[in-house]
Amino acid sequence: MRNLLIRTASGIVYVALMVTAVFTPWVAVPLALFFVIVGLYEFYKLCNDPTLRQNFSFWFIAALCLFESFYALFVSFPNLPPISWIAGLCIAYVCLFIPELIAKSELSMSRVGLGFFGQMWIVVPLCVLFLLWIPQNSVSVLAFFVLIWMSDTAAYVFGSLFGKHKLAPNISPGKTWEGFLCSCVFTIGLAVGLSYIPFFRMMGMPISWWIVFALIIQVFGLMGDLVESLFKRMAGVKDSGNIIPGHGGVLDRVDSILVATIPAYLFWLTAIL
């Protein structure tokens, strides 16, 4: 019972912070930066490779430079000169190679690849979500959050009740085709329901686009969950961290969001044109 109360309380705080960030830029920016820093650290720990210790310091610098570039280009533009975001991108790019150039150990392109993957998997989606998408249309981001959170919950509930056929047994044994398909139907129904609520109708999308929006979130959200499960499986751990009581790490909370953000944002851009 105590664990359930802790999990519920921390879940409420997490949801409250995310929703507050949607409508409050001064919360969104530090929250994004927090997720970037902690998410990268959890990814570094999941890699379970002691030779990455030096690389991680440069991953961190690259992430900050990439974050600064997004902020300068999409939040403070044109108040800051172009050199502010161009230099950030250049430094971020170079930082991923520096560790191998100065390493005393055997050169490894896999370490460089992990650095790039970490930036693309964690840093870029969070920058797109918090620094680009939220300021442009908070209503669409809130709809995105509602759909992805409820799709995860539905997949777990329906999978527990009806699941028999494993979806990816080698990666995440708990996920089933029944849970995924039932969650698809539930998420589509929820999206159609949201389309009738005046607040969400401000997105200006017809019901057919809401259905596509829901499917994009469902499919790519599942992919994000499986990507993180793959790393946890390889590392032999249940959670990516323990910073969120009862829920694990930051990556455990945003894994679906990381992969679904950019496809959902691109679809939203297409829908409003």
Query: What is the per-residue pLDDT for 86?
Result: 87
Distance CA 105, CA 142 (A): 47
pLDDT value of residue 162? 86
Nearest to 251 by CA among 46, 50, 67: 46
Range of the domain at 205: 137-273
Domain boundary among 103, 136, 169: 136
pLDDT tens digits for range 172-204: 888 889 999 999 999 999 999 999 999 998 888
Same domain, 132 and 213: no
Are 97 and 168 found together in one domain?
Answer: no
Same-domain check for residues 130 and 216: no
What Å distances lie between residue 174 and 22, 39, 167, 206, 227, CA to CA? 31, 23, 8, 35, 14
pLDDT value, residue 18? 92
Residues of the chain with pLDDT under 70: 1-4, 77-80, 104-107, 246, 272-273
pTM of the full predicted structure? Answer: 0.91
> Is 128 found in the same domain as 147?
no
Query: Cα–Cα distances in Å, from 123 out to 66, 70, 151, 262?
Result: 8, 10, 23, 12
Residues 145 and 263 placed together within one structural domain of the fold: yes
Residue finishing a domain among 87, 106, 136: 136
Question: For residue 117, what are the contacts with CB-CB under 8 A and spacing of at least 6?
Answer: none
Same domain, 207 and 165: yes
Q: Where are the beta strands (DSSP E) in the chain?
A: 166-168, 172-176
> Are residues 148 and 265 located together in one domain of the fold?
yes
Q: For residues 115 and 27, state if they share a domain.
A: yes
Examine the domain organization and report whether 150 and 129 are in the same domain: no
Is there a single domain that holds both residue 167 and residue 127?
Answer: no
Residue 104 pLDDT = 66
37 & 112 share domain: yes
Of 115, 136, 157, which residue is a domain's last? 136
Q: Using CA atoms, how far apart are residues 14 and 40, in angstroms rounded to an integer? A: 19
The total number of structural domains that make up the chain: 2
- Residue 32 has a pLDDT of 92
What DSSP designation does 79 have?
T
Q: Are residues 151 and 91 in the same domain?
A: no
Q: What span, in angstroms and rounded, lies between the C-alpha atoms of 153 and 170?
A: 22
